[in-house]
Structure 1
């Protein structure tokens, strides 16, 4: 496991970046004991980290995780009063960085996953939660609302009724319930969180990189589209992939009854 030397990833505030080139994996690791509070400067650094890893040819899959028993208790509260209105207006853009990544992003959540910790998790593609995980958007207790895309993303996933229940009551949602509501991809025992994450990384690495990127962008771009437009865009994406080396390799491997060797072209 190697620390990255990218110039945008020096002197990181409250987290670190690790790259395992042999496994084509990069980890963004929240590491500010004991609650992994996310500072204002850290939000912009997290955006830059995702952007740098998205451009790194050694990396196929990005994992967001945290040290300790809690993913994150949320943002540094006093920082909201100290930040300029211009800075605050960029919060949602920074925290949406995982969704903008062309590569698949997995987040592993355990313990408190509150506020911006929950919001950045909602921007990831796959949320693996342990049974200790508690999701919450507690901003109402501060006389505020979520400001980094939390209520908007949440409503897309679970609907307005459950979103009002979570946002307007600052209600905590346990990991098992989050899975039942479709918020989490998988819910596992706390001791199994890392192994479940590892397993998903290796599963995703086995697919064609170009097909993965295409699927993610298509799904993100058509989330608000009508059915007819979504089908039309899907057809265009399918047609482009039809010309790819990976699709030819996939077909040939299927008929030869052998594992495909995808190259991402």
Structure 2
């Protein structure tokens, strides 16, 4: 366990089925699902994952967060028995917990191999970037249990691929292979399974090279304007652009461009 601090510190003790690693030199944090063989995500782990993202968002050592898993599968989904045992109040918080990657101001990457089902898929959909492999299958299989996705899965998916494809995935409990997910725009890359780690590393380093302030601004703008009318989205973009024009990072970027050198961004 790392030395993370958070106002919900007690939640970060004795992590349930996952671990956290911080590489300060590479400005990277990894949340690693680890409950072999299928990395089932418990009800308690959902609360802990939320707290972990909130703590990492406040950690100055971290620029980029990666969600990955040990073994051949990202996650086969949630603890089904836990749903029947949880209180209605607890169940009502599930979507808020799983949306933690989206609320996090820093870039979040989901590295998906093997099964990425149910809440594992929903957690990945809440991330900014999904990297799939030729072994990946995405699915929202809740119809097989007489249920529907409950942590934002159908809603986020519909925003990405439209209502027709979402109905095809949700109402038929279809498994979508990584290549098809890439073709549909769910995943940003689909690589050979052996290349997942290297591809993830490369994306982390690419994102670290940009201004932290510009990255945070872009993420929040895109999230806030996702379901806004075009005129409102353009207005919001203009305000964000105007604010960044006065930043130290923008000045550094312009000066580096004209000086034909690599910019050194400081996030201010």
Q: Shorter chain as normaliser: what TM range?
A: over 0.9
Match of 2:171 among 168, 171, 176: 168
- Structure 1 ranges of 4+ moved more than 6 A: none
2:263 is equivalent to residue 264 of structure 1 = no
In structure 2, the residue matched to 1:142 is: 145
Deviation track 1:100-120 (CA, whole Å, cap 9, x = no partner) reads 000000000000000000000
Deviation track 1:53-90 (CA, whole Å, cap 9, x = no partner) reads 00000000000000000000000001000000000000
| Gap runs ≥5 in structure 2 | none
In structure 2, the residue matched to 1:251 is: 254
Deviation track 1:225-257 (CA, whole Å, cap 9, x = no partner) reads 111111110000000000100000000000000
Compute the displacement of 1:3 (Å). Answer: 2.9
2:113 is equivalent to residue 113 of structure 1 = no
* SS, match of residue 16 in structure 2: coil
Give the whole-Å Cα distance in 1 for the aligned partners of 2:216 and 2:4: 25
**Structure 1-normalised TM-score?**
0.98
* SS, match of residue 3 in structure 1: coil
2:205 is equivalent to residue 202 of structure 1 = yes
**Alpha-carbon contact 1:4-1:18 (below 8 Å) kept:** no
| Gap runs ≥5 in structure 1 | none
Equivalent residues, number: 264
Match of 1:212 among 202, 210, 215: 215
2:6 is equivalent to residue 3 of structure 1 = no
The CA RMSD measured in Å over matched residues stands at 0.8
Give the whole-Å Cα distance in 1 for the aligned partners of 2:130 and 2:13: 27
Give the whole-Å Cα distance in 1 for the aligned partners of 2:118 and 2:245: 42
* SS, match of residue 135 in structure 1: strand
Compute the displacement of 1:5 (Å). Answer: 4.1
Give the whole-Å Cα distance in 2 for the aligned partners of 1:183 and 1:249: 34
In structure 1, the residue matched to 2:196 is: 193
2:58 is equivalent to residue 64 of structure 1 = no
2:123 is equivalent to residue 126 of structure 1 = no
